[in-house]
Structures are given as structure tokens and as C-alpha cells.
Amino acid sequence: MVNTTDNRSAPSRMKLAELASGVGALVVGIGIGALFATVFRSTAVAITLTGLALHSFGMWDKHRLETRVDSPAWVQVAYWICWVMLAILSIAIMLR
């Protein structure tokens, strides 16, 4: 078993694990959506809005935690680009 407290690459490995977990959940969600598209059709907007809310909270919370340490400038840029894309998605759903 690896002791991550003594490992200098622990933050990198943690981010990799978080990324793999998140992407895996995304792929599972896409697969479930494809398998049961007709079943979920009537609730698609509610499911999308729930995902949007959860992602927004997670993104905000992670950003809040990351502001306690120095982050590269690209992290700030990616954060705000994501918020813009979420706003566009929200508007598209409302106009639907």
C-alpha cells in the first residue's frame, strides 16, 4: 500500500483519480441515457437541470477550496469558461 502523505506526487495522483472517477461517471451516464433514451425522454430537462445544479455546486466548492492555495492562471480561466458554458446551456433549456 502506498503512503500518500509522504509521496510528493499525491496531489497529482488525487487529481488523476478525481478525473478518472468523474469521466467514468459521465460515460456511465451517457450509456444509461443511450440505453433508456425513450424511458427518460419525458424527464430529460429535469435530469439535465439536476446535473447542472450538482456540477455548479461542485465546481463552486472546488474553486472555493482552491483559492486558499496558489492556482495557475489557466485554472481561473477554465473556471469562468465553464460558468459561461453552463449559462448558455441554461438559456438554451429555458428557450426550448
Q: Interior CA angle at 60 toward 44 and 41, to 5°?
A: 5
pLDDT at 68: 74
What do you get for the CA distance between the two ends of the chain, in Å?
Answer: 51
Q: How much is the pTM?
A: 0.60
Whether the Cβ atoms of residue 49 and residue 93 lie closer than 8 Å to each other: yes
pLDDT bin (cut points 50, 70, 90) of residue 38 is very high
- pLDDT > 60? residue 51: yes
- pLDDT > 60? residue 3: no
Q: Say what percent of the chain tops pLDDT 70.
A: 90
Q: Can you tell me the distance from the alpha carbon of 84 to that of 32, in angstroms, rounded to the nearest whole number?
A: 27
